[in-house]
């Protein structure tokens, strides 16, 4: 059963969720943003307001267009306020139990024809979908950070995802102005399956070749034309986020290159997580 997507719910208004909600209101969609506290909903709205205001400053939007976009955003702490959404995108903490609990609650709340999507970057969409009574209406929609800027969305189907649901999610990503790619529910999907072991190799080279993080970054930027070096990229992603994703891939496939290098584990333990803490491979 196909769905016309007119009203979207976004659960979790942190960096990723706020970016996804921003994309939705920019695309003219009524959007309901849900967080666990009023303070967090307001913080999410402030994030969206900030980036839309930058669009006004740069001449990409008018003040009236910005205000119209913000008017399409409704904030709530109550999951039941998502009941009339045609699509609900989950963007909460990257923990399987938390996502499964949320999807079970959404399953009891939204209409039977609604689509449920997870923004997970590393967890099994199949396992998340299994928490519902309608896994055929669950799909992965992995946006990349920052969501309003990066074009890619990995649209992930499980063995049970209905074809019409998958096609609707893919078309929705295109409606947001994104460049979606289709993939099956496999560990790491496409980007992380390639990128995480590659970044881990770059970190291991620091100790094995006796070079500095700057030298590794220079090697990849000027030797292979990467726009950003691997160490700077991990600092941008967050050491904690990278290690978590790396551990998830290691658990799933047991390939040695997937396991986080000891250097990254030590950085995580020390709290030097990159840009978010002001110190990672580099100082900020």
Q: Which residues are catalytic?
A: 121, 142, 154, 192
**Buried/exposed 129-163: b ≥16 CB within 10 Å, e otherwise:** bbbbebbbbbbbbbbbeebbeeeebbbbbbebbbe
Contacts 24+ apart (CB under 8 A), 253-259: 253/187, 255/197, 257/197, 257/200, 257/201, 258/196, 258/197, 258/200, 259/200
Find out whether 77 and 35 touch, Cβ atoms under 8 Å: yes
Give residues with Cβ within 8 angstroms of 262, minimum separation 6. none
Find out whether 26 and 72 touch, Cβ atoms under 8 Å: no
Instruction: Note the Cα 274 to chain centre separation in Å.
Output: 18
Name beta bridge partners: 140. 118, 156
Specify the residue for token string 């669950």: 138
Give dist(CA 93, CA 241) in Å, integer. Answer: 11
Name beta bridge partners: 115. 87
Neighbours of 30 (CB within 10 A): 17
What the block records as the tokens of 178 is: 């994104």
Give residues with Cβ within 8 angstroms of 258, minimum separation 6. 196, 197, 200, 246, 249, 250, 252
- The gap between the terminal CA atoms of the chain, to the nearest Å, is 50
């Amino acid at each position: 059963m196909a769905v016309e997507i007119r009203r979207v719910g976004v659960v979790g208004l942190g960096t990723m969720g706020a970016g996804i909600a921003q994309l939705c209101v920019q695309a003219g969609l009524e959007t309901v943003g849900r967080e666990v506290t009023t303070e967090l909903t307001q913080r999410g709205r402030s994030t969206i307001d900030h980036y839309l205001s930058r669009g006004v400053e740069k001449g990409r939007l008018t003040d009236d267009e910005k205000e119209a976009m913000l008017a399409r955003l409704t904030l709530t702490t109550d999951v039941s306020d998502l009941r009339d959404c045609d699509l609900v995108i989950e963007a909460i903490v990257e923990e399987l139990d938390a996502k499964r609990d949320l999807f079970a609650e959404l399953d009891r709340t939204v209409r039977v024809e609604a689509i449920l999507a997870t923004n997970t970057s590393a967890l099994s969409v199949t396992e998340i979908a299994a928490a519902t009574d309608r896994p055929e209406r669950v799909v992965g929609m992995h946006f990349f950070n920052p969501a309003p800027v990066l074009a890619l969305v990995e649209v992930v189907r499980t063995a049970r995802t209905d074809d019409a649901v998958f096609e609707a999610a893919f078309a929705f990503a295109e409606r947001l102005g994104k460049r979606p790619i289709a993939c099956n529910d496999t560990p790491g999907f496409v980007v992380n399956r390639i990128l995480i072991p590659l970044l881990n190799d770059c970190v291991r080279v620091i100790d094995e070749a006796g070079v500095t993080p700057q030298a590794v970054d220079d090697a990849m930027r000027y030797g292979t034309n990467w726009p950003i070096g691997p160490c700077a990229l991990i600092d941008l992603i967050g050491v904690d986020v990278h290690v978590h994703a790396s551990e998830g891939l290691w658990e799933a496939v047991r390939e040695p290159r997937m396991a986080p290098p000891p250097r990254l584990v030590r950085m995580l333990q020390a709290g030097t997580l990159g840009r978010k803490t002001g110190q990672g491979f580099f100082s900020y």
